[in-house]
Structure 1
Amino acid sequence: MQHFLPYSKKLTVFVLALAAFLLILSQPSLAEESHTPVWSLPKIVLKGVPFSIDIADATELQQQTLFIQLDEKVYQGELADGKLTFADLSTEQASAHVVLLSDGHQLDSAEINALPGWFSLIPALMAITMALLLRNVMIALFVSLVTGIWMLYGLTLPGLGMAILDACQVYVVDALTEREHMEVVVFCFLIGGLVGIISRNGGTMGIAERITRVVKNRSQTQLSTSFLGIAIFFDDYANSLIVGNTMKKISDTMRISREKLAYIVDCTAAPVSAILFVTTWIGFQVGVINDGLSTITGFDESAYSVFLNSLLYSFYPILAIVFVLYIAGTGKDFGPMLKAERRAFHTGRVLSPAMQQDSGPAPEEKDMEAKEGVPHRAINAVIPMCVLIGVTMAAIYFTGLSSPDRADDSLREIIGNANAFASMMYGSVAGCIVALLMTMAQRLLSVHEITDAWFAGAKAVMLVIFVLTLAWSLSAVNTELHTSDFLISALGDTLNPNLMPVTIFLLAAFMAFATGSSWGVMGIMMPMVVPLAWAVLVFNDMTGAEHMHIFYSSVSGVLAGAIWGDHCSPLAESTLLSAMASGCDLIDHVRSQMLYCLVVGGVGMLAGTLPAGFGAPWWLCMVIGAVTLWLVVQMWGQRAEDPLPHPHKSHAHKPDVEPA
């Protein structure tokens, strides 16, 4: 042992010396550090699509002595903020040979793979196609993500293995470690937890019971259901579960068909949550809008401000709410819904013949049920939600006034300068704290029960987080594949700016109808639509304030189209949840509301999105759309209470149950 120790020491010294020697050899010499700049090369480029190469920390370099040679063309860089940029480089070769020159001498060279431009669309097209075929947005997004990364590795066999590993280890981790992304994730968890607490402590049931106390007839029942759907605005899933199950018993008493109940529930869920300022939808929408804005150079408006401005052009969600209020208030129906209402009123069968008995509560209902024995006090939901909204709005205003010299700014400028993510965090934290304190003060739930309720609500938004994370990751891959650059170069100078909003609206509607996921559609389309819409305006020299309606309308086209397609799709989770919570057969629900959704979508497109793209005032389009829908109801609508057409005593239907 004594002889071994000296030998081991010598061996250790030798290994350390060898390691130090190899480390020194691996380091660039001082001459190399001082004379050879470090340039940032793209992983791949697209044939015929301009790209750029940057040299960081180039303040001490002489701009005029550095050039890049590509395909026998020589490019000179521009020095700005200490960075030397060689812009508008382009190649038509499959492998581009790039040479960095200084006074005619070669400093460095590299090979860059160049793919055909349409290759950059493969991940996005694959996401759409797989979502259509598999009816699963999560799998579609993940496979598309791996495919895009594989393309960055040159589509080699070893690259496929690296792409699978990098999908989670690099891109998903990068998406979740970005501060703004994590703010959205935490906000979704907080507001989901708040929904869990106020549902469990009886607050949301208190709101429902307050509204239902004034119901006396069929029309009031339908209006009460609509207003309850609007009141529970903070989450569309909570909306469907609470409103459907709360109003089911009283609507049966008033002989309202389950198809009608499911329609009202569905049309006051997603459309309401999508357009109000503080909901579980807002973090997602602002997040994907911000992802698209991050690729635009020189655009200084915040994502939250873009979202607020786009709401003015969200014709389908707003008109869908207006139309359901028309239908509920007048008691008139047409098409399959009128047939269902006549069946329910004249025979007492609220369920269709295809559905012989109530399917029972939805599986998700247990997480939203109030604890047995707790009083149903509306104030326990109203106050936390008011705190949430009030604190968020106040924080948006004060963070927008970040410096004294902004005191004279307009409200729009203040909102545009605000930190929306931080403001939503402040509001959701305040709402959770108030809900917790009110619940503990009244001894409605124990501390453990409050914690369980919060986690139950947070768990409900996990799917949202997964979809959003994969959408962020795919967006990062699309950026490296220069997808937006290709779309801009291919469509920027050919797509009619005035027709762009309606084109985006129709495309988003088709995707949502086929996939059944409005969130998936927004996650895939928004990061590409935002830079494309701006590039089209740039190409056509239409970036002034008088043309911004085209940009905002294009952004809203993704949201409005996604909700429209979602409403018409039997695959949509919100459609399924509304049917289950209302105790209605899914196919009956889709068939009965399909005509209504098509009418509202058609009017919203022809009277709203299309003319707004050509500069028509948004408020005028909204008024025309609302008036048109009112005329449709008055001209074609009939009440279920009215006598049946062409009555014959021998064929008259005898009610199975006496009217309530």
Structure 2
Amino acid sequence: MIKKYLILLFLFISTAVSAQQISIPKFTLTGINFELSLSDIPDSIKQVDLKVQNSSHTSSYLVQVRDGKVDTTLNISSFGNYIIHAKNIKVKPAEIRVIPGWFSILPPLIAILMALLIRQVLVSLALGIYIGTIFIYDYNPLTALLRFADVFIIEALIDRDHMYVILFTLLIGGVVGIIARNGGTIGLANLVTKYAKTPKSGMITSWLMGLMIFFDDYANSLIIGNMMRPITDKLKISREKLAYIVDSTAAPIASVVIVSTWIGYELGLISEGLKLIGSTENAYDVFIQTLPYRFYPIAALFFVFITSYFQRDFGPMYKAEKRARVEGKLYRDGSKISIKKDVDLALDNQKARWVNGVVPILIILFGTIGGLFYTGINSLQQNGITEYSLQQIISSSDSFSSLLWSSFVACLAAISMTVSQKVLNLHDSIGAWHKGVQSMLFACIILTFAWAISTVTNELNTADYIISILSDSLNARFLPFLVFILCGLISFATGTSWGTMAIVMPIVIPLAAKLAEYSNLDASGTSLIIYGVISSVLVGSVFGDHCSPIADTTILSSMASHCDHIDHVKTQMPYALLIGIVCIFLGDLPTAFGLNPFISIFLIFAVLTGILFLFGKTTLFSKAD
């Protein structure tokens, strides 16, 4: 009996002691604060004497007890394995591993450098994730390889919001596949081509077509290039100018509209970044808020219009237009033209009905808007709010569900319309849908890896380390400008805007939040920097993509326009660089210091127009216009 009571007493004491647990992370970085907590401290203890030690180093911290617990932050300057214990109370010692702070920037840095070197974004992201996983799991390469798959990739996929993004991205791709195959996109193009009678109207018509086919940059490039080339050839518009119009309306319009194949990808990256900083903001609402700060694509679309409307150009583009108008040479002598078979966008051009393209797109557009209102109002009413503004509705809405519902219904509508009109049978319609879905699969894989590396950098406290280095030398308001430059360089070197977004977005959103906090910015100032940084990632990636000779949309534009690829790059780059520089100095920098973005857009438009008239020369070499 005595033995039994002794065992019970021992278990009671053990439980009492084990209740006092030192709570710390498994690892931390040198020089970076980490949180320590200890609860269930007896009332008689007013201070806890903490010891942090390893074989060569010991530090002491006397911490005040409040309400029977300790919550404090500690900082260890040397790497290694440490033991933390309390000297004046009975508590189980805790172990913490301290790794060099600069290790935390290696995963994203390696991903960026490898992307620049091998131009394979997926491989680069995978390597960055793996290196970070090695650091997290005590430098064990085998364990890291296993956790790479069963922790970071799986966690990225099982997240509810992530699954929504993947599903509606694939569904929107399916819609695009169907309307490209059933002639809906060609029908849209045919609506405006009949108005192209002169060089001026031909260029503006091409620009308008680019705005109309806003839902996908690839479809945009292929349709406009192939549809307008015979018309612009008759009007003596150079192939370089057509390729420029095609390229400069494809990604810019697809990246800023609220319904496109880009929206799911962009929302997925934004949503993950907001989670990393603990923000409860709606990703779709943030997307809308960043639109006025998307200076480059807005300015690029504007510049295409004014060069076409006023028929003025400069630099290599002027020479190309003069050659075409005066000599009748649509492309340079010795040009290497891609004479590939044009992409079959529909089975029969006579079956190309614009309604088949418009209806599914309108379903996505208005279905999404309706879903936002439905979910937003429902959420507000559940919280007892009966009077609300439009901003409150959007902020409280479920954008992911709205996009999923609308894209699913659009798929059903597109298939039903195609089959009922006997444009395609059910088998071919499903095949077209499947091809569209396939076109988005690789993007979804990259997105999954981007989510995974964002988790890795978050666990490694990458943003905290960068802040510890830059906080004394970098003003938070310069961050959007620097991010624009960084994304432009990466996108130029890799040729992929989406890959650049995936690499950079997970790093810079937490960095912006931390730097704004360190700079003592208020809530509005912090939001301004975060919106600016998100915009800079999205538009800087498009900017670099425009300048890059290896970018997919650049190649597609020159191919569809039957333009020498290098000639297209040479004629487009001066325009892209000019727009980028103007947007930096009149957009990114002044708005970060509080200038209204709409004033910036007006100034950008005014300066670009002035430069065109100051340095541009007229291409009116005939009486056609």
Task: State whether TM-score is above 0.5.
Answer: yes
Q: 1:342 to 1:139 in 2, by over 3 A?
A: same
SS at match of 2:276: coil
Residue 90 of structure 1 pairs with residue 75 of structure 2: yes
SS at match of 1:36: helix
SS at match of 1:52: strand
Q: Which residue of 2 aligns with 1:113?
A: 97
Q: Which residue of 1 aligns with 2:254?
A: 273
Q: 1:33 to 1:294 in 2, by over 3 A?
A: farther
SS at match of 1:233: coil
Q: Which residue of 2 aligns with 1:529?
A: 508
Which of 282, 302, 305 in structure 2 is aligned with 1:325? Answer: 305
Residue 36 of structure 1 pairs with residue 12 of structure 2: no
Contact 1:199 1:370 in 2 (8 A): yes
1:104-503 alignment to 2 at 5 Å? 104-110=89-95, 112-155=96-139, 159-297=140-278, 299-355=279-335, 357-361=337-341, 365-366=343-344, 369-372=345-348, 375-401=351-377, 402-404=379-381, 405-503=384-482
1-structure distance, mates of 2:325, 2:563? 16
1:305 maps to amino acid? D
Contact 2:51 2:87 in 1 (8 A): no
2-structure distance, mates of 1:63, 1:433? 67
1-structure distance, mates of 2:348, 2:14? 75
Q: Which residue of 2 aligns with 1:46?
A: 29
2-structure distance, mates of 1:464, 1:285? 11
SS at match of 2:422: coil
2:29 maps to amino acid? L
Which of 538, 545, 548 in structure 2 is aligned with 1:559? Answer: 538
1-structure distance, mates of 2:326, 2:406? 49
SS at match of 2:558: helix
2:184 maps to amino acid? G
Segments of 5+ residues of structure 1 without an aligned counterpart are 1-27, 644-658
2:225 maps to amino acid? G
SS at match of 2:94: strand
Q: 1:473 to 1:74 in 2, by over 3 A?
A: farther
RMSD of aligned alpha carbons: 2.6
Q: 1:189 to 1:73 in 2, by over 3 A?
A: same
Contact 2:24 2:34 in 1 (8 A): no
SS at match of 2:35: strand
Contact 1:51 1:89 in 2 (8 A): yes
1-structure distance, mates of 2:349, 2:231? 22
Q: Deviations over 1:503-537 (max 9, x none)?
A: 22112212211222211221111112112112222
2-structure distance, mates of 1:615, 1:254? 46
Q: Tell me by how many angstroms 1:273 deviates.
A: 0.8
1:47 maps to amino acid? T
Q: Tell me by how many angstroms 1:88 deviates.
A: 2.2
Contact 2:63 2:70 in 1 (8 A): no
Return 191-200 or 395-404, whichever deviates more.
395-404
SS at match of 2:262: helix
Q: Deviations over 1:548-595 (max 9, x none)?
A: 323322221111211111111112112112122222222111111000
Aligned length: 603
Return 555-564 or 495-504, whichever deviates more.
495-504
SS at match of 1:403: helix
1-structure distance, mates of 2:380, 2:197? 55
Q: Deviations over 1:144-178 (max 9, x none)?
A: 111111122333xxx22332333223211221111
- Identity over aligned pairs, percent: 36
Return 414-423 or 622-631, whichever deviates more.
414-423
Q: Which residue of 2 aligns with 1:625?
A: 604
1:138 maps to amino acid? L
1-structure distance, mates of 2:553, 2:334? 21
Return 633-642 or 519-528, whichever deviates more.
633-642
1-structure distance, mates of 2:392, 2:241? 43
Residue 637 of structure 1 pairs with residue 616 of structure 2: yes
SS at match of 2:293: coil
Q: 1:61 to 1:85 in 2, by over 3 A?
A: closer
2-structure distance, mates of 1:63, 1:213? 86
Q: Which residue of 2 aligns with 1:578?
A: 557
2-structure distance, mates of 1:634, 1:339? 16
Q: 1:102 to 1:73 in 2, by over 3 A?
A: closer
Q: 1:36 to 1:394 in 2, by over 3 A?
A: same
Q: Tell me by how many angstroms 1:485 deviates.
A: 1.7
SS at match of 1:460: helix
1:133 maps to amino acid? L
Q: Tell me by how many angstroms 1:41 deviates.
A: 4.7
Q: Tell me by how many angstroms 1:599 deviates.
A: 0.9
Contact 2:35 2:72 in 1 (8 A): yes
- With normalisation by structure 1, the TM-score equals 0.86
Q: Tell me by how many angstroms 1:62 deviates.
A: 6.7
2:483 maps to amino acid? I
Contact 1:144 1:474 in 2 (8 A): yes
2-structure distance, mates of 1:585, 1:63? 81
Q: 1:387 to 1:258 in 2, by over 3 A?
A: same
2:30 maps to amino acid? K
2-structure distance, mates of 1:308, 1:75? 46
Q: Which residue of 2 aligns with 1:72?
A: 60
Q: 1:390 to 1:256 in 2, by over 3 A?
A: same
Q: 1:493 to 1:149 in 2, by over 3 A?
A: same
Q: Tell me by how many angstroms 1:230 deviates.
A: 0.9
2-structure distance, mates of 1:397, 1:102? 58
1-structure distance, mates of 2:15, 2:535? 50
1-structure distance, mates of 2:234, 2:78? 73
2-structure distance, mates of 1:165, 1:349? 60
SS at match of 1:73: strand
Q: Deviations over 1:1-35 (max 9, x none)?
A: xxxxxxxxxxxxxxxxxxxxxxxxxxx97765564
Q: Tell me by how many angstroms 1:96 deviates.
A: 4.4
2-structure distance, mates of 1:357, 1:141? 35
Q: Tell me by how many angstroms 1:78 deviates.
A: 7.9
2-structure distance, mates of 1:45, 1:230? 50
Contact 1:99 1:106 in 2 (8 A): no
1:567 maps to amino acid? H
Q: Deviations over 1:240-279 (max 9, x none)?
A: 1111111121111212111111111111111111111111
Q: Tell me by how many angstroms 1:282 deviates.
A: 1.4
1:379 maps to amino acid? V
2-structure distance, mates of 1:79, 1:351? 80
Q: 1:382 to 1:48 in 2, by over 3 A?
A: same
Q: 1:373 to 1:573 in 2, by over 3 A?
A: closer
Q: 1:133 to 1:78 in 2, by over 3 A?
A: farther
1-structure distance, mates of 2:493, 2:66? 47
Q: 1:63 to 1:548 in 2, by over 3 A?
A: farther
2-structure distance, mates of 1:413, 1:173? 34
Q: Tell me by how many angstroms 1:361 deviates.
A: 3.9
1-structure distance, mates of 2:85, 2:470? 32
Contact 2:24 2:94 in 1 (8 A): no
SS at match of 1:444: coil
Q: Tell me by how many angstroms 1:497 deviates.
A: 2.4
